[in-house]
Structure 1
Amino acid sequence: MAPGATSKKKTDDEQSTKDSLIHLSNPHLEKMKDDILYHFALGTGTHDFPALFGDIKFVCVGGSPSRMKAFTTYIAKELGLESASGDYPNICEGTDRYAMYKVGPVLSVSHGMGIPSIAIMLHELIKLLYHSKCSNVTIIRIGTSGGIGLEPGSVVVTRQSVDATFKPQFEQVILGKTVIRSTNLDDQLAKELMQCSKEINQFNTVIGNTMCTLDFYEGQARLDGAICSYAEEEKLKYLKDAYDAGVRNIEMESSVFAALCNLSGVRAAVVCVTLLNRLEGDQISSSHDVLVEYQQRPQKLVGHFIKKRLGKV
């Protein structure tokens, strides 16, 4: 072995580990004695983060607490880590803002609806992973969406999140100035998820752009809100323009999700099922049982991905 080879390998390994850790883009946090994650009812002064969360490798987030608890039950069974009681405690039981569940290396967290709600959750989630000294973490948003030009029940793996003008960016006003951040997502991760869908071969899955809006009604060109100032022809032209720009579904969280994960050096993906084709209507009319089955599709795809990563397939 050449002189210094062992030392160089150690240095490379240390650099690799450092690169795989969560990055916090906030120098002020280093000056804080304790960090209170208020909306999680957790804090570094009251909880041992590395002991509680240090083994986390996968974080799955979704809007509804009940959906994330259902995913927890599902992934526990898939990984052979089922609770003897059949139940899983809500780690954030001290608050009613979000719900959080853990099974082995998988953390499931609800984020509510819309950019403000998921942004608050992500700030605290990213700090939680940082304080826990987690490395090589993959974060995936699983949820529902409105499709464009797709059969209901199709699953969309997001290539990039675009705004309502079809630009791949997240715009936010900070200290009175407009800040624009990239909303690209991990291309290799998207391809891995597509391969997983082919392997389970249970439903149609595509990679496409996802439009993230600030509103469910006018912001998504619906005709059925309390207020509407445009004609049906204008709505259809807009949605067809979106399709031509590569948009295959619409939801309300992906832009800030992509932006914050990018800034923190975390591999991230968005996997959403479409509940309807917006070119054919605005209201979700499928039966409850059909919708429940649709909502399980992102869980199945991501569950297969996690099992494959852990060598359990």
Structure 2
Amino acid sequence: MAPILTNSSEVNASERSDNEENGTVHVKNPHLASMPEDVLYHFDLGTKTHNLQAMFGDVKFVCVGGSANRMRGFAEFMYTELGLTGDGSDIRDICAGTDRYSMYKTGPVLSINHGMGVPSISIMLHELIKLLHHAKCRDVTIIRLGTSGGIGLDPGTVVITGTAVNSFLQPQFDQVVLGKVITRSTELDKDLAQELLNCGREIGSYLTIIGNTMCTHDFYEGQGRLDGALCSFSNEEKLDYLKKAYRAGVRNIEMESTVFAAMCHRCDLKAAIVCVTLLNRFDGDQITSPHEVLLEYQRRPQKIVSMFIKKQLGLLK
């Protein structure tokens, strides 16, 4: 059965015009409007139990990343960067009633962890996009901060995703819906990527580039690693695959980019992905850098995104 291709042409002209005019976050589900209550189960939030507009209506930037600890650290970092007053006691886990995700709010910045892999980030994004919609947020920018394996890059290089591709090097995300394959575009905002690149260059203490990002559904075999519990290919076959990806413009590999790009694009959210590389996959498969070095690497995307946010808020020229 041939896949069903869906993209921005699905959205009628009047709907797209309304979105662009008022900047609100629109869900693409006609059933939500008739529901008496929307329970955001994995966030432990809901439209009847919480005043979502009062809690989140001022959100302008949403930053997501895999690790709960890392996203709490980013929230604390942004608290200082934005010069917020107080002792930081208001940096609390809004989703403390669940152990699925953690969420922190610092001024107009929402920080959320999404776990590892396409299914985990997909669940989070469904509820996040609905949350932004219910809260009547406007002109929201969403950025994924992450770590990745580099291809042909030194560890510590920051890659801003130009195009998210799947394991077949195709710029699309395939979702099975009711036994049919729905194919969605993984287009990201090019202007946003360039603004983030400029911030990285302005920092200047490490290399920042724009490159394609390959999303896989597995950390080991799916990424051509030789060190998993299962392996059915040779080192030569692995290198051939990575070289093919490199020739196609891929500069890093992770496990969330295609669904992130597809869902944000489908819901008209301005989105970007900023990942640091922890190793060069041409040189090996295992991450061996010392813990303190890896921590410094992980702060690099945060510094770029912080500079971008401060520029958008007029806190930096």
TM-score (norm 1): 0.94
Q: For 1:23 and 1:32, how far apart are their aligned partners in 2?
A: 16
Q: 1:267 aligns with which of 251, 265, 270?
A: 270
**Aligned twin of 1:139:** 142
Post-superposition offset of 1:172: 1.2
2:213 counterpart of 1:210:
yes
Among 64, 71, 75, which residue is 1:68 paired with? 71
Bigger radius of gyration among the two = 1
Question: Equivalent residue of 1:215, what SS?
Answer: coil
Runs of 5+ in structure 2 lacking a partner? Answer: 1-16
Q: 1:44-97, CA deviations, whole angstroms, 9 ceiling, x for partnerless residues? A: 001001100000000000001100000001011000015414561100000000
Equivalences, count: 300
2:301 equivalent to 1:298: yes
Q: Is the 8 A contact 2:19 2:26 kept in 1?
A: no
Q: 2:24 aligns with which of 21, 25, 40?
A: 21
Q: In the alignment, what sits opposite 2:227?
A: 224
Compared with structure 1, are the counterparts of its residues 91 and 157 closer, same or farther at alpha carbon in structure 2 (3 Å cutoff)? same
Provide the identity percentage.
Answer: 62
Whichever residue aligns with residue 68 of structure 1, its letter is: M
1:24 Cα deviation (Å)?
0.9
Measured in 2, the distance between the counterparts of 1:172 and 1:105 equals 32
TM-score by length of 2: 0.93
Which position in structure 2 is the counterpart of 1:235? 238
User: Displacement, 1:199?
Assistant: 1.3
Letter matched to residue 182 of structure 2: V
Q: Is 1:160 the counterpart of 2:174 in the alignment? A: no
Where does 1:89-108 land on structure 2 (aligned, <5 Å)? 89-108=92-111
Which residue of 1 is the match for residue 115 of structure 2? 112
Alpha-carbon distance, 1:15 to partner:
5.0
Shift of 1:200: 1.4
State the Cα deviation string for residues 128-173 of structure 1 (Å, max 9, x = none). 0000000100000001000000000000000111000100000111
Indicate conservation of the 8 Å contact 1:23/1:263, yes or no. no
Q: Partner of 2:126: helix, strand, or coil?
A: helix
Tell whether the 8 Å contact from 2:59 to 2:107 is kept in structure 1 after alignment: yes
Displacement, 1:201? Answer: 1.2
Alignment of 1:184-195 (within 5 A): 184-195=187-198
What residue identity is the alignment partner of 1:233? E
Look up the equivalent residue of 2:216 and give its one-letter code.
T
For the residues of structure 2 that align with 1:63 and 1:298, how far apart are their CA atoms?
13
Partner secondary structure for residue 210 of structure 1: strand
Q: Tell me how far 1:178 sits from its aligned partner.
A: 0.7
